[in-house]
A and B are shown apart, each in its own frame.
Chain A
Amino acid sequence: MKEKLQKLKVKISSFKLKDMLSFKNLPLRRDKAIDAASDKDINTSFPINNNARELHPPVQLMVISRIIERETAGARSLLLKKADGTGAAWFRAGQYVSVKLKIGESYVTRPYSISSSPRLTKDGKLYITVKENPGGFVSDYIMSKLKEGDKVLVSGPEGQFYHDSLRDSKNVVAVAGGSGITPFLSMAYAIRDGIEDFDLTILYGSRTEDSILFKSELDSILEETDNVRVIHVLSDERKEGFESGYITADLIRKYAPDDYSLFICGPEALYRFMEGVVRELGLPARRVRREIIGVSGKMVSSKDDRPETFHDLTVIQGPETFHIKASSRETLLVAIERAGIMAPAKCRSGECGWCRSKLISGDVIIPEQNDRRRRMDKTTGHIHPCVTFPAGDIVLEVPRGDMPDD
């Protein structure tokens, strides 16, 4: 080896000493280049970074500029407007924002699909709609306590429930139940406004004609674009001009074109029902998308028939440690929020990973259908508290959330 190396003779210029010297002088060359430069302050403002921040602000402070009561549907819509008068972050029709609230001593978040056109962000505006859920800690608060002029903190736009032309069919068949219409309303507006370019057929399930959310909004969109169709499906009522019963495979076949992507958004029962429908339709996985924000925690606890037990939960957050209680019926995230600890959370369905935390010790239950962790995390005890239930005393390290002060 050595012998071979000695025989190697590389020649660059005619004097090898000149090359060696220029190697020796590399630091000199660098010094010269540096010395020749200006000593003005270092720039740290970059258009790409500013653009990224505008599109993905971590939080947006909004004012409730108007509340629209939708009593027959048991819901209220909030028109949120950026408090500083600037534009709100642009979003893909179908995305949601995570609303951050301080209720009593608790810091909580809830994800809500944006129901307005992305175009309104230019005026700093977003609409979200909240359905009443008697006894629901956050929905009760929003339904009865929030008033016009109040300030709320929301996240940037989040989620992947939108039409992606690289993945989805040009034809989308939307199955909506109740307030699950909101992302599709936004998509319909976006199509009308020329922001999105696909054909949308909405099969919208409501109990009765009176309880249909956004009936007049949808009707007016239909007048303005040919690319949106709405079929109302009433479960508790038979009426001229409406389909009745449930949204079955046959009903979907009746309205769907040959190739389509099925988008589903609605209450827990709808997802369960649609499982069979999707099987019957024989759609490949790439043609079915579900918006699951917020539903999964409930989906599990309502099925849970174990007796409720209470466990010690130790929460380590940076330099602080909190000792609290956690119910076997509620997710760890809810227990943490209830105790007034600021926890990060967005989707509340195990998907976004924003609440990812390290389980130091203790047994937990993570329902399989909600377990969307990274593969390594499953082996290293990292969990998503928004879909994790305690099965014993727990020690958990939780990153801190970005939450509103009083």
Chain B
Amino acid sequence: MKGKHYHVHMAGSITELPKFDVVVVGAGNAGLMAAIKLQKAGKKTLIVEQHNLPGGCATSYVRGRFEIDPSLHELAAVGSADNPGPVRRMFNDLGLNVNWVQLKDCFRAVGRYSDGSPMDITMPCGKQAMIDAMENEVPGTRKKMEKLFRLFDEINEGLGYFSDGTNYNLRYALKHYSNMLIVGSHSCKIVFKALRLPQKCIDILSTYWSYLGVDMGRMSFLHYAMMVSSYMEEGAYIPAFTSHELSVALEDKFRELGGTIWFNCRAESFLFNDGKVCAVRTQYGDIRCKYALANVNEDIVYGRMVPKEMVTSRLKKLSNARKQKYGARMFTVHLCLDNTADQLGIKDYSIFMQGTADSEKEYANIMKGMDSNSFAIFVCYNVANPKASPDGTCICSITTFGSPADWDNLKSEDYASFKEKCARKLISQLKEYTGIDLEGHVEEVAVATPWTFARYLGTPEGCVYGHETADWDDIISRNLQVGKDYPVKGLKPIGAGGPRGDGYSSAYQCGELMADMVLRELGEAAV
């Protein structure tokens, strides 16, 4: 990213920049939340953001009379006004009024079960409704599904017990959370089998695998239980005015608390003194600080922004052990249509389309490239949110994963035709799987590819998540090693690659968690 261009008003043109307690690099979800927490705790905090607006992925852009959300399908952990989840609570605690819109169903899944038989099922939200719908589709599963939900309850309670910051009592844990401890090291695939769930039922439960970016064979069951039970039981939410609504609300709160934010101010590197971060080198100059948080992918932080001698052997080994397997590179076609959802025969907010519900096979197909990829998620925002677009119109997206196999060696001059070809394939798949025909109604179209995300986010391979949360590096294992994963003094990467994993709710929570850790360290330093 280092500019080799003939620009610009670089470092040094300003005589003296103010000093800060903490500099947060990047105003993504984690960066914003961490900055608020730090500023609120009385730390003089600065956010430097390379773009001209906050949010990272959590943003929007305008095309004609439409406003497009580039990333958010649904947000977990919001919960209802009466029974708020962690995310709603965070926003409530900050006194922020978000126009939350609830999604009525969890999803509709269309395509083929793993045995090849046709699949078309709509899953409502809520434990009981879901158990009923499952019993209806796969008779004889009621008892087992009830057991599964009880296991979710135990896990969510247990994870709370283990991560509330106090020491845990092993005997208490063994007595109350023994099932969690038993399943705790296993993948979804193994636990589902152990619960003797019929394959069709497993297929349906696997539908959300794509939101975590890892197939069921490699996904930790605890991770699944945490994320998916929130989607299933509480239902998911979206903000009425796109993710940009969330990011701007957070930015405004940060300012109101006295925080400083500089846009178009890219951070180049971290400067050290005495083995500890002392400043951040930015386009505006060197900014001195006691601590820095980087809402930046770990590999970029340790591979590019930190002097080599500060990068420990374990950090290098950790990165190499992860083998640059980045989670979820997205390909999305956004379609702004000149008819309403009703007129177009769209009834569902989200439709998961899959050539096979076998997530391991589907994942392997996706990685081979667009030609073998048969996975896509269709979303029509207006089904849940009448304010998603002007009257008489609707706004939809179709998303799949992009594989480096397609996007590594593509030439600039072939880019437009390749992305149009991919988009066309998704639009045809929608018609084939659901009968929904969008042709002849497209008023605006925008296609986002891994190149697009690489351009705007600067993340490795344009990934929107961090490293895959899979196998030995699942979020449970990461959480258990938080103390070991951040050896550089005065610097922590935060965000999708962190111990909470990826997705909006995880990133917000990661921001809070890491800000707490910084506050503890700064507190200790003061003593």
Binding site for B on A (CB under 8 A): 1, 4-5, 8-12, 16, 19-20, 22-27, 29-44, 46-49, 51-56, 58-59, 61, 83, 89-90, 92, 118, 151, 153, 160, 164-167, 195, 284-286, 318-320, 342, 344, 351, 353-356, 372-377, 380, 382, 399-405
Contacts and interface: CB of A to CB of B under 8 A. Distances in A.
B154 A404 contact: no
19 contacts: A8-B151, A12-B183, A12-B190, A23-B181, A30-B480, A33-B321, A43-B299, A53-B455, A59-B7, A89-B412, A285-B443, A318-B14, A374-B67, A375-B242, A376-B244, A380-B248, A380-B252, A403-B7, A404-B8
Given A10-B147, A51-B408, 20 more contacts: A5-B176, A10-B182, A12-B183, A12-B190, A19-B183, A29-B185, A30-B473, A33-B321, A38-B317, A42-B319, A47-B404, A47-B408, A51-B407, A52-B455, A61-B6, A285-B65, A344-B52, A374-B60, A399-B264, A400-B265
A83 B6 CA distance: 10
Contact of B63 (A19, A27, A160): A160
Nearest to A290: B64
Interface string B392-421: 000000000000100111101101100010
B338 A286 contact: yes
Contact of B263 (A36, A118, A399, A403): A399
A405 B194 contact: no
B480 A16 contact: no
Contact of A16 (B6, B182, B244, B324): B182
B385 to A, nearest CB: 12
Contacts of B478: 30
A166 B407 contact: no
Interface SS majority for chain A: loop
Interface string B441-461: 111110100111011001011
Contacts of B79: none
Contact of A55 (B174, B195, B412): B412
B451 A51 contact: yes
B185 A44 contact: no
Interface stretch (B114-122, B211-219, B300-308): B300-308
Contacts of B461: 46, 48-49
A286 B299 contact: no
Contact of A319 (B18, B185, B195, B410): B18
A166 B333 contact: yes
Nearest to B478: A30
Contact of B321 (A9, A37, A403): A37
Contact of A43 (B6, B303, B407, B423): B303
A166 B415 contact: no
Contacts of A160: 63
Given A22-B185, A320-B14, A373-B62, A44 B303 contact: yes
Contacts of B407: 47-48, 51
B185 A19 contact: yes
B129 interface: no
A46 B460 contact: yes
What interface size band does chain B fall in? 35 or more
Given A166-B445, A286-B443, A356-B52, A90 B415 contact: yes
Most buried by B among A20, A32, A46, A399: A46
A304 B13 CA distance: 39
Contacts of B450: 48
A353 B242 CA distance: 16
A292 B195 CA distance: 61
**Smallest CB-CB A-B distances: 10 pairs:** A42-B303, A37-B321, A23-B184, A399-B264, A286-B443, A90-B412, A44-B303, A399-B263, A52-B454, A47-B408
B181 A12 contact: no
A52 B444 contact: no
A374 B185 contact: no
B179 interface: yes
B262 interface: yes
A385 B150 CA distance: 56
A47 B321 contact: no
A123 B96 CA distance: 53
Given A47-B409, A48-B329, A23 B185 contact: yes
A49 B338 contact: no
Given A37-B317, A405-B8, A19 B181 contact: yes
Contacts of B443: 167, 284-286
A166 B302 CA distance: 41
Interface in B39-75: 52-53, 60-65, 67
B264 A374 contact: no
Given A29-B472, A167-B444, A284-B338, A195 B7 contact: no
A59 B317 CA distance: 36
A402 to B, nearest CB: 5
Contact of B320 (A40, A46, A56): A40
B318 interface: yes
A167 B150 CA distance: 49
Contacts of A59: 5-7
Contacts of B520: none
Interface in B155-208: 174, 176, 178-179, 181-186, 190-191, 194-195
A31 B318 CA distance: 9
Interface in B1-42: 3, 5-9, 14, 17-18
A319 B284 contact: yes
A405 B10 CA distance: 10
